[in-house]
Amino acid sequence: MTRDEPRRRIPRTDQLLAQPDVQREHGRLSEGRIRRIVQEAQEQARRGELAPEDVAEAVINTISVTDAASLRPVLNATGVVVHTNLGRAPLSDAARAALLAAAGYVDVELDLATGQRSRRGAAAREALLAVCPGAEDALIVNNGAAALVLATTALAGTGEVVISRGELIEIGAGFRLPDLIASTGSRLREVGTTNRTHLNDYADALGPDTGCLLKVHPSNFRISGFTSGVDIGRLRGLAAEHGVPLVVDLGSGLPNRDLLLPDEPDLSGALSAGADVVIASGDKLLGGPQAGLLLGRAEVIARLARHPLARAVRADKLTLAALEATLAGGPTPVAEALHADPDRLRERAERLAAAVGGELVQHDGRVGGGGAPEVPLPGWAVRLPAAVARPLRVGDPAVLPRVHGGACLLDLRCIPEGEDERLLTALHSAIAATRLAGSPNTADGTG
């Protein structure tokens, strides 16, 4: 290698780290993150992709646009309200403020008046009971699956969990309820058939090895036709007769009945029907952070709270703060999106379509998150060519549309009205990028 070899001119790591613009970023980014950026720029120069004289500038530019966290905010234009791939429920302003307040030292397990230790998450628990007064007590854990594991472990142990075959569900990413319960050491006692289960099927299965009766709402699918099931009220009598607890997993976490979702069971309804424990997620229809909610009879909740596993799955201070604020604050983004005015959605979509040369089309949104799978949410969308979708996803701000029927559809249901101008800016950039790439029909809605 001669002295004029370009690779010899690549700045050393210590020289790049000593740059004033790099030094100023040490309070924002870790030493390891900065070093990785430096090394990547040097590697680009070694591969001939970057001139040695441009390495320092490339490092400074990359560091200036790099955040400590990689998660990017996304404008959800799919029309799916509880979008699992986008983190399910977006938090309310009150919950976001509570997260920031809880980021430092907070009285999560301390009574400031006495200076003594207090019950963890007492305020969040009280807020939950205020929303669901039919519960005697409540327990908050880190997610819905953890809530189910805790309930079956504490109540059944190595005994049997009696459940209908029609409720042995699989949800996203291959997650199967039978596998989850079996992992606790409990034994599944399946009763009935996939489409029909009767009260006597449960009665015949109950015995000295029964730990609990479990009823699961199959929220992400629906079986129709020749079917039958047993409601909570009838199971309540059977459970009481045999002295076993009745656990009901509702999943979606609707606190009270909503006329928009007539077939979606709610926490208060399940409690009044006789469930000893109701389980739900906090980040679906409740509109809060990821959490597992257990509500029910004080004696049963106390039994769950005393189990050693409760410590392993307990919620952290950020979850407790955001959950309390969700319950005590104003309407959540989930509630607002579900009940959005179709006429207003049309007005906004018409303006957007006119601004970018798109086509206004009717479009049904969805609840998402495994809730109310067959309930349409009537609305409108702006139709553009499918080629616009990728530039929207990778742009700034990132926008996630729905790609369907060979077109890119933008439904404004889940986008706050105050974000319409940012969405329009993103659309103009995406359409321009598509034109530069040579894609035809970029703005006439045909594609």
Pairing of β 407-411 and β 377-385: antiparallel
The dihedral of CA 76, 78, 79, 83: what is its sign? Answer: negative
pLDDT of residue 180: 87
| DSSP assignment string, 157-226 | TTSEEEEEGGG--B-GGG-BHHHHHHHTT-EEEEES-SSB--HHHHHHH-STTEEEEEEE--TT----SS
- Asked if 105 and 337 count as a contact pair (C-beta separation under 8 A), the reply is no
> Residue 442 pLDDT more than 60?
no
Tokens 């950039």 locate to 429
Per-residue pLDDT reduced to its tens digit, 192-226: 988 899 999 999 999 999 999 999 988 666 666 67
Q: How confident is the model at residue 161 (pLDDT cuts 50, 70, 90)?
A: very high
| pLDDT (mean) for 1-8 | 62
Task: Give tens-digit pLDDT for 252-285.
Answer: 889 999 999 988 899 999 999 999 999 999 999 9
**Radius of gyration of the chain from its Cα atoms, rounded to whole angstroms:** 27
How far apart CA 329 and CA 340 sit, in angstroms, is 19
Structure tokens at 150: 């805790």
DSSP class of 76: E
Spatial separation of the C-alpha atoms in residues 324 and 293, rounded to whole Å: 12
Q: How far is the C-alpha of 277 from the C-alpha of 152, rounded, in Å? A: 11
The stretch 24-30 carries a mean pLDDT of: 91
Q: Which two tokens stand for residue 169?
A: 């569900």
List phi, psi (to 5°) of 266: -115, 160
Rounded to whole angstroms, how far apart are CA atoms 255 and 282?
10
CB atoms within 10 A of CB 42: 21
- Chain centroid to CA 326: 14
Sign of the dihedral defined by the CA atoms of residues 410, 411, 415, 420, in that order: positive
Instruction: Confirm if 37 and 63 have CB atoms less than 8 A apart.
Output: yes
3 state DSSP class of 36: helix
Nearest to 384 by CA among 340, 414, 428: 428
Give me 392's structure tokens.
């929207």
The whole-number pLDDT of residue 219 equals: 63
φ, ψ for residue 113, nearest 5 deg = -65, -40
DSSP 362: E
Q: 194 CB contacts (<8 Å, ≥6 apart)?
A: 165, 166, 223
Across residues 122-150, what is the average pLDDT?
Answer: 95
Question: Is 444 a residue whose pLDDT tops 50?
Answer: no
Other CB atoms within a 10 A radius of the CB of residue 133 amount to 9
Q: Tokens in use for 370?
A: 């495994």
Q: Name the average pLDDT for the chain.
A: 91
The pLDDT value recorded for residue 173 is 62
* pLDDT tens digits along 354-383: 999 999 999 999 998 877 777 899 999 999
The model's pLDDT over 57-86, given as tens digits with 9 standing for 90+, comes to 999 999 998 888 888 999 999 999 999 999
Q: What is the pLDDT of residues 303-327, one digit of tens each?
A: 999 999 999 999 999 999 999 999 9
156: left (phi over 0), alpha (psi -120 to 50) or beta: alpha
Q: What count of other Cβ atoms lies within 10 Å of the Cβ of residue 366?
A: 21
Bridge partner residues of 282 (DSSP): none
Sheet architecture: strand order including 137-141: 137-141, 292-296, 277-281, 246-251, 210-216, 160-164, 187-191
Q: How far apart are CA 124 and CA 122, in angstroms?
A: 6
